[in-house]
Amino acid sequence: MKKILYIFLGIALLGAVAGMFYYLYAKSQEKPVVFETESPFKTNIVKKTVATGAITPRKEIEVKSHVSGVVDELFTEAGDVIKKGQLIARIKVIPDVARLNQAESNVKTARINFENAEREYKRQKGLFDQQVISKQEFNEFEVSYKLREQELDAAKDNLQIVKEGATKKKGSVSNLVYSTAEGMVLEVPVKEGNFVIESNTFNDGTTLASVANMGEMIFEGKVDESEVGKIKEGMKLKLKVAALQSESFDALLEFISPKGKEEEGAVQFEVKAAVTLKDSTFLRSGYSANADIVLDHRDSVMAIKESLLIFDKEDGKTYVEVETTEQEFEKREVKTGLSDGINIEVLKGVEKEDKIKKQK
């Protein structure tokens, strides 16, 4: 009985050793490499460049005050649609002390001269009525009287301008600010009580409101110098607005800057395009947008993935590996056309039924 047990254990041990050697042998054998393949296909290839920028009104003006002072009252706010000549604000003039003193002194001097001229005029008129003096002599006193009267009126007007910023007789200088254009008020950067500076030849002055025609919008963006030579005025653009992800807008390229500006080591050229608006969507000024500019396109052409290509630096030719038999490939030269960065047009070298080896 013991002899049979020993024989059984020996057979089991030999089997275990044989199984272990077979497992190690099988594990050491490399699995055959199976290369994946792809076939050419028909598709549309569009080569385009992207310009980044923003949507802005074509015409936007800044309304400024002609006098310095404090905003006394505002008559509009952002979002209002106003007409040309509509009242926007009233400015309370804070007179300069030196100018005010000078203007008051001028009024006093002009009044003294006028009163003196008036007395002399009345005296000479009495003499003229008594025919003591001639008409010519009287006319000289009459002219002097009228000149002094005009000087007094001018001094009073100047004092009123210094104190209030406006005169009742003259409307050329006013503390009332009116819109110079029709459109929507985009921004009112001041509040009642803020100080404002007048607009003159020495400074731009404080902006009281920005007014723009929102019915005429343009896209302002920038294109890299590597792509600017491929675009021209009249090209169609497709705008994608970040705030309106579900909608796109058509635009027509109408301006390419003749001068580029270097930004972060790359030269950028400004472009502008007229946006075709939609009645159902309101475009706000300042929306960021990307414009797809189609540089070239091919419709229904034979194409392959650009990653399948092999570029030979020695002969400068382009190849693919085509399957001849199962997992057997031959190197074949191909002639390519337009590429969109993912797919590339194949003009010559492969057929639709060919299987092309994927490159690792």
Distance CA 216, CA 202 (A): 32
Quick: pLDDT tens for 310-342. 888 888 888 888 888 887 888 888 898 888 888
pLDDT at residue number 22: 65
CATH number at residue 107: 1.10.287.470
87-92 sheet: strands from edge to edge? 176-178, 87-92, 69-74, 195-196
Q: Which two tokens stand for residue 9?
A: 């254990």
Whether residue 81 sits in one domain with residue 187: yes
Q: Which residue has the higher pLDDT, 154 or 171?
A: 154
Q: Which of 13-17, 20-24, 170-174, 184-188 has the lowest mean pLDDT?
A: 170-174
Distance CA 80, CA 188 (A): 11
3-state class (DSSP) for residue 306: helix
The domain tally of the chain equals 5
pLDDT at residue number 31: 60
CATH number at residue 200: 2.40.50
Last residue of a domain, one of 189, 212, 235: 212
Whether residue 77 sits in one domain with residue 199: yes
Whether residue 279 sits in one domain with residue 224: yes
Within a domain: 90:
no
- Average of per-residue pLDDT across 192-214: 89
Whether residue 133 sits in one domain with residue 15: no
CA distances 241 to 73, 219, 245, 285, 290, Å, are 37, 10, 6, 12, 7
To which residue do tokens 């008051």 refer? Answer: 104
CATH number at residue 347: 2.40.420.20
Within a domain: 132:
yes
Within a domain: 152:
yes
Show the DSSP H helices in the chain as ranges: 2-28, 97-129, 135-164, 225-228
- From the CB of residue 133, how many other CB atoms can be counted at a distance below 10 Å? 16
Within a domain: 116:
yes
pTM of the predicted protein model: 0.63
How many CA atoms lie within 13 Å of 49's alpha carbon, on the beta-carbon side? 16
**Through-space distance between the first and last CA atoms of the chain, rounded to whole angstroms:** 64
Distance CA 177, CA 74 (A): 10
Within a domain: 170:
no
Within a domain: 171:
no
Which residues contact residue 328 at a Cβ distance below 8 angstroms, ignoring those fewer than 6 apart? none
pLDDT at residue number 171: 47
CATH number at residue 222: 2.40.30.170
Q: Which domain holds residue 104?
A: 97-164
Quick: pLDDT tens for 7-30. 666 676 676 766 676 666 666 555
Whether residue 271 sits in one domain with residue 197: no
Within a domain: 92:
no
- From the CB of residue 22, how many other CB atoms can be counted at a distance below 10 Å? 10
Within a domain: 266:
yes
Whether residue 257 sits in one domain with residue 247: yes
Quick: pLDDT tens for 34-70. 778 888 889 999 888 888 999 999 999 999 988 888 8
Dihedral sign of CA atoms 167, 168, 172, 176 in order = positive
Whether residue 244 sits in one domain with residue 270: yes
Whether residue 231 sits in one domain with residue 282: yes
Whether residue 303 sits in one domain with residue 293: no
Whether residue 231 sits in one domain with residue 257: yes
Whether residue 247 sits in one domain with residue 202: no
Last residue of a domain, one of 279, 297, 315: 297
Whether residue 305 sits in one domain with residue 253: no
